[in-house]
Amino acid sequence: MLGQQILSGLATGSLYALTAIAVVVVFRNTRTINLAQGDFAMVGAFLGIIFLKEWGMNYFAMLALVVLCCMALGGFVERVVMRPVAESDWLTLFTTTIGVYYILHGMAGWIWGRDTKAFPVSFEATPVEVFGALISKGHLYNMAIALLIGGVLWTFFTKTKQGIAMRAVTDDPETAYLMGIPVKFIVTLTWVMAGAIAGFIGVLMAPIIYVSPEMMDEILIKGYVAAVFGGLYSFRGAVIGALMIGVAENLAGGYLGSHYKTSVAFVMIVVLLAFRPQGLVGIQERREI
């Protein structure tokens, strides 16, 4: 029973981790706390329904197209909405993303309706045994995809020129610009990347939580709490935080009662901020925001 709770906690946690990574990617390079991150995934989930039901695409073609659309959405938001205010202070940037959040919520409700829709992919409940614990195939699949995306991102950031350049821009944008790194292009790239991750999250989450304009609100908050575990800076800290939240809320749900589940993440963040405001992992010096 305990093993099972932990395992399905890790499965949910891995999706929080993807959200947290997207949050950190954008924050590191633009100082923007992007509240619309979840809505990129929400739009992706609605598009997924269209691609499957109306266009008759198969699952993987749908996934690829959703990811591409969300990348375009991320890039569009950066170029059209965020770039004009890019030099502003963090509060202006944050408030601008609240605007994007409401616009996307409103447009989704207007176009697709406010009712909850089922995602036409059945979430396979058939349990599989892993290390003696039972876990549904759907959860296992989500974990595998999350791990794969994590691996791709790690490779991108450590092995490719654009990925290293993205870290250089995080570190010191002025010097990066001096070296000939196109800083503005890199910033667009971070939003495109956040969009891509959101596309995956939307498609992976949709069968579990159903599709509605509000579907991502709670997940985004947990993703944020997880990101704060890494000081909004460390990917490792964000992933560890996300997995901890996933496991802790599952254990609370299992042993204390399901109504305790939602509050766990908030209790954790309060405790964390009280004792380690710089985050859990890896930042020696607090960077100015």
Partner 1 sequence: MSSLIVENIKANYGPITALKDTSLVVPEKAIVTLLGANGAGKSTTLKCISGVVKPVSGSITWANKEIGGQSPNSITRKGIAQVPEGRRIFKDLSVTENLEMGGYTRSDRAGIEADLEDIFELFPRLKERHKQLGGSLSGGEQQMLAIGRGLMADPQLLMLDEPSLGLAPIVVSQIFETLQKLVEERELAILLVEQNMKMALRVSSFGYVMRLGQIMISGSSEELEDNKEVYESYLGTA
Task: Say which amino acid occupies 70.
Answer: C
- Contact between 173 and partner 1 per CB under 8 A: no
Q: Which of 72, 164, 209, 251 binds partner 1 (CB under 8 A)?
A: 164
Select the residue interacting with partner 1 from 179, 270, 273, 289 (CB under 8 A).
179
CB of 179 to partner 1, least distance (A): 5
Residue of the chain from 1, 60, 132, 161 that contacts partner 1 (CB under 8 A): 161
By C-beta, is 26 or 204 nearer to partner 1? 26
User: Which residue, 129 or 174, is less far from partner 1 as judged by CB?
Assistant: 174
Query: In the set 58, 60, 131, 180, which binds partner 1 (CB under 8 A)?
Result: 180
All residues at 6 or more sequence positions from 95 whose CB lies less than 8 Å from its CB, including other chains: none
Determine which helix (DSSP H) or strand (DSSP E) holds 127, and give its type and residue range.
Answer: strand 127-130
Residue 282's SS3 state is: coil
Task: By CB under 8 A, tell whether 181 contacts partner 1.
Answer: yes
**Residue 227 contacts residue 67 (beta carbons within 8 Å):** no
Using CB under 8 A, pick the residue from 172, 218, 263, 266 that binds partner 1.
172
Nearest-5° Cα angle at 206, 26 to 155: 40
Q: How far apart are CA 168 and CA 163, in angstroms?
A: 9
Residue type, 84: P
Tell which residue, 250, 269, 220, 246, has the closest CA to residue 39.
220
Residue 171 as a binder of partner 1 (CB under 8 A): the answer is: yes
CB of 229 to partner 1, least distance (A): 18
Residues in contact with partner 1 by the rule CB under 8 A: 161, 164-165, 167-168, 170-172, 174-182
